[in-house]
Amino acid sequence: MKIKLFLCRTAFFLLSASLFTVSGCSKKETSTATTSSSDNSTPTFAVSEINQTLEDGYYTGSFVVPSDGVSFILSVFKDNNGSTAFYTLIDPDGTDLLNSSSTPTLSGVSSGSLGAYGYANILVPQSPSFSVKAGTWSFKAYSNDRVKLALRSGTAPTSATIVVQPYITGTTWAADDLSATLSVMSSIYSANGIILSVNSTITISDSQFAAVSGTFTDPTTSALVTQGSTAAVNLFFIEDYSGSWSGILGNAAGIPGSMGIANAWNGVLNSLSAHASGTTLDAQLLGETAAHEMGHQLGLFHTTEQSGTEFDIITDTAECPKSSWDNDSNGQMTAEECEGYGAENVMFWTAWSSTSRSAGKKQETLSSYQQQVLKYSPLAK
Ligand SMILES: [Zn+2]
């Protein structure tokens, strides 16, 4: 099991990853089932806990997707930020979505496959190549404290509305200062067929949250993000990151993060300081960053990673391979090098340079398949 930390959209930092192997899954216990559902009168989104039994060293369980199932996130939790992951996820036809030889596969790309600290998940569908087949799904998981299913059911979506809850921390900027940014973000989504319903920005005045780490297992960051709504994508506009994170534009709690459950992974961070000249916020760039991090939170990967050797699992997004476009041969793909090859996409790994932005370059497009992932999101309506 590999552990990969997701961090995103930086002008200055490398995408970092740490890898290690976890051994030993020996504790014998069975969790008890509890069910809660949204207060929506139509049962289109519900979170439930799945019973598990220990078999052959793995925690195993199953759940049923109804005939009108649209999407789900299966999540595994390990208290005190212990490492955890799924070993298999078997669909009703017997295909293991986490097996590298399956087509399609989420092996090596979802946190539920790679493993993570405290929380890992699997989103289906994470591209239009996947479908939420009706019937009984089963899984095997490594050591964990609980597994939860967030299931959306109803008619197949042709449009989507997603509720967004912004928060602001620190004292340099106030909720009103985000109006232009939130307009930019909403316009980006609207132009790509997704309606955002943006709630009023909530001010979090506790000074400990003015500058926080971008690590979601950090206790302060965890305490902040856990305040997020269970009915929205939560955007935390922090005054700044702390420590070595300073200068990062934003990062999400996962690809996807958590949805519908109050926890440390239920939101994204956007740094206000990293988008400011003096005290003036760059609403266009901050709106693009918020749109980008929200895309991660809902399950979208970078179209092209920094190295130009890794690309998303979506087949209709432009790719910018290092072998073709690393004009300065420095092993890092800039937006300028990738113009026409994905640099215009909301989910390109980094922003345009300030010179390009001054010249009007933007990142506002999502491909048809990226839009489809968002429309099928468990959190969309
Ligand atoms: Zn990113």
Q: What is the pLDDT of residues 92-108, one digit of tens each?
A: 999 999 999 999 999 99
CB-based contact 47:73 (threshold 8 Å): no
Residue 225 alpha carbon to ligand 1 centre in Å: 18
Q: Going by C-beta distance under 8 Å and a sequence separation of 6 or more, which residues neighbour residue 307? A: 322, 331, 332, 333
pTM summary value = 0.90
61 Cβ contact list (under 8 Å, min separation 6): 50, 51, 52, 53, 138, 139, 141, 147
Rounded CA separation 342/370 (Å): 13
pLDDT value at residue 18:
29
- DSSP one-letter code for 194: E
Residue 125 · residue 234 · CB < 8 Å: no
Tell me which residues have their CB within 5 A of the ion that is ligand 1: 8-9
- What is the 302 CA–ligand 1 centroid distance (Å)? 6
353 φ, ψ to 5°? Answer: -65, 165
Tell me how far the alpha carbon of residue 182 lies from the centroid of ligand 1, in angstroms: 18
What's the pLDDT at 42?
58
Give the per-residue pLDDT at 39.
39
Residues with pLDDT less than 50, the chain? 1-8, 10-41
Question: How many angstroms separate the alpha carbon of residue 56 from the centre of ligand 1?
Answer: 38
**Residue 60 C-alpha to ligand 1 middle, in angstroms?**
33
Angle between helices 179-191 and 283-297 (to 10 degrees): 60
Q: How far is the CA of 195 from the centre of ligand 1 (A)?
A: 21
306 CA to centre of ligand 1 in angstroms: 10
Q: Which residues contact 349 (CB under 8 A, 6 or more apart)?
A: 8, 9, 15, 302, 303, 304, 305, 306, 333
Q: Half-sphere exposure of 191 toward its Cβ, with a 13 Å CA cutoff?
A: 14
Residues in Cβ contact with 343 at an 8 Å cutoff, skipping those fewer than 6 apart: 320, 334, 335, 336, 337, 352, 361, 363
Q: Which residue has the tokens 């996947």?
A: 130
pLDDT at position 21: 28
CA of 49 to the centre of ligand 1 (A): 30
Q: Cα(42) to centroid of ligand 1, in Å?
A: 34
**53-69 pLDDT tens trace:** 999 999 999 999 999 99
